[in-house]
Structure 1
Amino acid sequence: METIMDRSIDLGELIPQPDDDVIVCRCEEVTKGEIRQAVHDGMRTLNEVRRYLRTGMGLCQGQTCGKLVQSIVARELGIRPRDLEMNTARSPVRPTEMGVYGNEVIEQEAEYEA
């Protein structure tokens, strides 16, 4: 586990692969090559890759791409996928209009006016 966080370890030069243009995270349109580049740029955990590229932050919340991203990152780091700590799960947050919170009051006022 120490080798993952040791950022002084040189992973070597990123060697392009023929399938680097394959989209791995469809929601955010992130390719395999972008994930590999992120690891070589210093992202050593799945959470860091997620924050850097937004993988797993789309509509599927990583249900489609999570395992693929994990295996790509592990392969670049030269470790087993199960040695990577999984992403921190968070509920999606969506903006709510203030009118939704005040809707009950508006309905009550409409009753009084009628």
Structure 2
Amino acid sequence: MKRSVEEKNWLEQQNVIVCRCEDVTLDEVRRAIAQGATTLDELKRLLRVGMGPCQGRTCRELLARELAEHLGKPVGEIMPPTFRPPAKPVKLGLVSRLAEDVPRAGGDSSLEGGESR
């Protein structure tokens, strides 16, 4: 995908923020790529890009395009980052009730009070 002149001029500014949620600049992204990052997951682990409230909806395309340009690949060959959504939200009250039912370390409470086996 070819970039427009306006986009190239905009991207020439090294201090432009590409991930607003995590306040990551284009220069930081380019340095990470120069140091060996080759996937969106690696950029995510190194710089926290895509881990803010928008979950990469704002920066993912820019990051993929930057990686593609550096690696000499089409943007479509850049794999999307992996993510692990929570299985199911659980209320803290439920967790605390479950914790009360878990046996304590040290044995059965019915054996307290001097009874022996």
**TM-score tier (shorter):** 0.5 to 0.7
**Structure 1: runs of 5 or more not aligned:** 1-16, 106-114
| 2:72 corresponding residue in structure 1 | 78
| 1:23 corresponding residue in structure 2 | 17
**1:25–1:64 contact (8 Å) kept in structure 2:** yes
Structure of higher CA gyration radius = 2
Aligned residues with identical type, % of pairs: 41
Q: Deviation at 1:103?
A: 6.3
TM-score by length of 2: 0.63
**Structure 2: runs of 5 or more not aligned:** 1-10, 100-117
| 1:50 corresponding residue in structure 2 | 44
| 2:60 corresponding residue in structure 1 | 66
TM-score by length of 1: 0.65
After the TM superposition, which segments of 4 or more aligned residues of structure 1 sit over 6 Å from their partners?
none
Q: Deviation at 1:47?
A: 0.7
